[in-house]
Amino acid sequence: MDNKTYLEGALDVLHQEDRDRIRFIIEMDKMKTIYRQTLLLDQSRTETDAEHSWHLAMLALVLEPHFPEGIDKDKVIRMCLVHDIVEIDAGDTFAYDKEGYKSKAIREEKAADRIYKLLPGEEGQRLRAYWEEFEEGQTSEAKVANSLDRLQPLLAHAYTGGVNWKSHKVVAEDVLVRMEPIRQNLPDLWPMVEELVKRGKERDLLL
């Protein structure tokens, strides 16, 4: 008996909805195997989607003092945790991969159709709604979550000496364009962003 069969057999003692919840939880383990372009700070390897999502949730906890008034922090954290679930099927698309972005939305929509349906009824729809809100980026919470999603890899790229910027020949102006949500939604942190990009260009880490 393999481990999967062993677990599935034990699920028979649960109601169907709980079986679906446990299967969804098991599916989420795959996020630990989806590697992104961003290096860990010790440069031993790149981070996984699971690590990235956890780190975003931590940013939401720590940087709450810089959120605009009235922001629902818990909702921001939920979006941070679910926003990359679709990459289990769709894979990670590097932020500056213009070619990859052409098919990104289609790949991720198809992934959402499969993955969020693993949860029972409205529960899956509710999680998918957080993902859709994040992608649309129109609500105040989605704007903050998207800003954090820009900030986290920026800090890592800077700390690791711009290794990935250099290897992908990233242009400084493109970084500033991508970081624009930070200027709009976390303006207290914008001077740091500008300084990081300025220094990156001066050190030839960015074109």
| One-character DSSP codes across 9-34 | HHHTTS-HHHHHHHHHHHHHGGGGG-
Among residues 142, 135, 154, which one has the least CA distance to residue 96? Answer: 154
| Domain presence at residue 3 | no
| Domain presence at residue 101 | yes
| Domain presence at residue 10 | no
Domain of residue 45 covers 16-202
| Domain presence at residue 24 | yes
| Domain presence at residue 1 | no
The predicted-structure confidence for 43-83, as pLDDT tens digits, reads as follows 999 999 999 999 999 999 999 999 999 999 999 999 999 99
| Domain presence at residue 4 | no
The label of the residue with tokens 């349906």 reads 117
The predicted-structure confidence for 138-180, as pLDDT tens digits, reads as follows 999 999 999 999 999 999 999 999 999 999 999 999 999 999 9
DSSP 169: T
Share of the chain above pLDDT 90, in %: 85
* CATH number for the domain harbouring residue 194: 1.10.3210.10
The predicted-structure confidence for 16-31, as pLDDT tens digits, reads as follows 999 999 999 999 999 9
Domain count along the chain: 1
| Domain presence at residue 207 | no
| Domain presence at residue 118 | yes
